[in-house]
């Protein structure tokens, strides 16, 4: 049975998995989840992912969420030995490290500032801004110390995708991060070197920019965690 990937079109974790599948040419049916309609809040969706988050991979009834785990699984199962997820223990460890860093710190700090205030009732605060700068500064330090052209090695790995998509959300809100020179160069190089992969991010960035200018009306949504912004009618 063909793989199925449940995605949201502008969701950074979904984009990263789509980029890996595209590059590895793994056939996959994409199922668009309507975030605004709360398609991921249903009991049916929770059977696939009790975290009620997107993306979810369905490999013939084997359900996997958490985009990092999906990226690792796709490489191990469908392209073993791919340089996208190197076998060398130290290089693989650095890839895993960057994936963890993105999940725990980089995307966590950045998305709270970029994405959450677009979709939900959150403010961009000075503390939030400080956390964005901390994330950028740490990533810049990793790139500078490792001296690699890519996030984890001198070639593309699955670590690049989530870090690119987190950084893309900064560009989506016109956040100037050019003073983080290593991050900036790595990000611009990705666009130049992988135009087809970048297109996946760029199309999502357009959507995010649209929502930033026209905040979506989610007042019908009974979200278990996030406060819903009141929209003037």
Ligand X SMILES: N[C@@H](CCC(=O)N[C@@H](CS)C(=O)NCC(=O)O)C(=O)O
Per-residue binding string, ligand X, 24-43, x by CB under 6 A, is ----------------x---
Member of 5, 13, 71, 180 binding ligand X (CB under 6 A)? 13
Closest of 53, 41, 219 to residue 121, by C-alpha? 219
**SS3 label, residue 30:** strand
- The partner residues of 57 in beta bridges, in order of sequence, read 5, 64
User: Can you read off the two tokens belonging to residue 215?
Assistant: 């905040």
Q: Is 66 in the site for ligand X (CB under 6 A)?
A: yes
Angle of the 160-172 helix axis to the 107-114 helix axis, nearest 10 = 20
Spell 127-136 as b/e; 16+ CB within 10 A means b. Answer: ebeebbeebb
Q: Is 7 in the site for ligand X (CB under 6 A)?
A: no
User: In the complex with ligand X, which residue's Cβ is closer, 2 or 69?
Assistant: 69
Member of 5, 20, 54, 94 binding ligand X (CB under 6 A)? 54
User: In the complex with ligand X, which residue's Cβ is closer, 10 or 136?
Assistant: 10
Q: Which 81-110 residues touch ligand X, going by CB under 6 A?
A: 103
Q: Is 168 in the site for ligand X (CB under 6 A)?
A: no
User: In the complex with ligand X, which residue's Cβ is closer, 17 or 153?
Assistant: 17
User: In the complex with ligand X, which residue's Cβ is closer, 26 or 207?
Assistant: 207
Size of the site for ligand X (CB under 6 A): 13
Please state, in angstroms and as integers, the Cα–Cα distance from residue 221 to each residue in 11, 50, 164, 230, following that order: 18, 18, 30, 11
User: In the complex with ligand X, which residue's Cβ is closer, 119 or 187?
Assistant: 119
User: In the complex with ligand X, which residue's Cβ is closer, 146 or 221?
Assistant: 221
DSSP state of 227: P
Q: In what order do the strands lie in the sheet with 28-32?
A: 28-32, 3-7, 56-59, 62-65
Q: Select from 11-19, 166-174, 186-194, 211-219 the region that touches ligand X (CB under 6 A).
A: 11-19
Give least dist CB 139 to ligand X, A.
Answer: 17
CB atoms within 10 A of CB 124: 15
User: In the complex with ligand X, which residue's Cβ is closer, 48 or 103?
Assistant: 103
Q: Select from 65-73, 150-158, 179-187, 198-206 the region that touches ligand X (CB under 6 A).
A: 65-73
Give the span between the Cα atoms of 6 and 56, in whole angstroms.
5
Q: Which 133-152 residues touch ligand X, going by CB under 6 A?
A: none
Give yes or no for a contact between 136 and 180, defined as CB atoms under 8 angstroms apart.
Answer: yes
Which positions lie near ligand X, rule CB under 6 A?
8, 11-13, 40, 53-55, 65-67, 103, 226
């Amino acid at each position: 049975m063909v793989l199925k990937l449940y995605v949201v079109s502008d969701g950074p974790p979904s984009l990263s998995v789509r980029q890996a599948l595209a590059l590895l040419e793994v056939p996959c049916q994409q199922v668009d989840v309507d975030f605004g309609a709360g398609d991921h809040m249903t009991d049916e969706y929770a059977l696939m992912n009790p975290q009620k988050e997107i993306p979810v991979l369905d490999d013939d009834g084997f359900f996997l969420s958490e985009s990092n785990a999906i990226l690792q699984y796709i490489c191990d199962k469908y392209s073993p030995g791919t340089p996208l997820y190197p076998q060398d223990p130290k290089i693989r460890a650095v890839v895993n490290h960057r994936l963890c860093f993105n999940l725990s710190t980089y995307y966590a700090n950045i998305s709270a500032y970029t994405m959450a205030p677009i979709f939900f009732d959150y403010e961009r605060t000075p503390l939030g801004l400080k956390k964005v700068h901390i994330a950028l500064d740490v990533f810049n330090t990793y790139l500078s110390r490792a001296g690699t052209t890519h996030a984890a090695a001198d070639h593309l790995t699955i670590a690049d995708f989530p870090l690119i998509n987190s950084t893309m959300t900064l560009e989506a809100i016109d956040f100037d991060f050019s003073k983080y020179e290593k991050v900036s160069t790595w990000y611009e190089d990705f666009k130049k070197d992988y135009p087809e992969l970048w297109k996946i991010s760029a199309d999502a960035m357009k959507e995010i920019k649209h929502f930033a200018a026209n905040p979506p009306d989610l007042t019908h949504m009974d979200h278990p965690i996030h406060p819903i912004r009141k929209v003037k009618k």
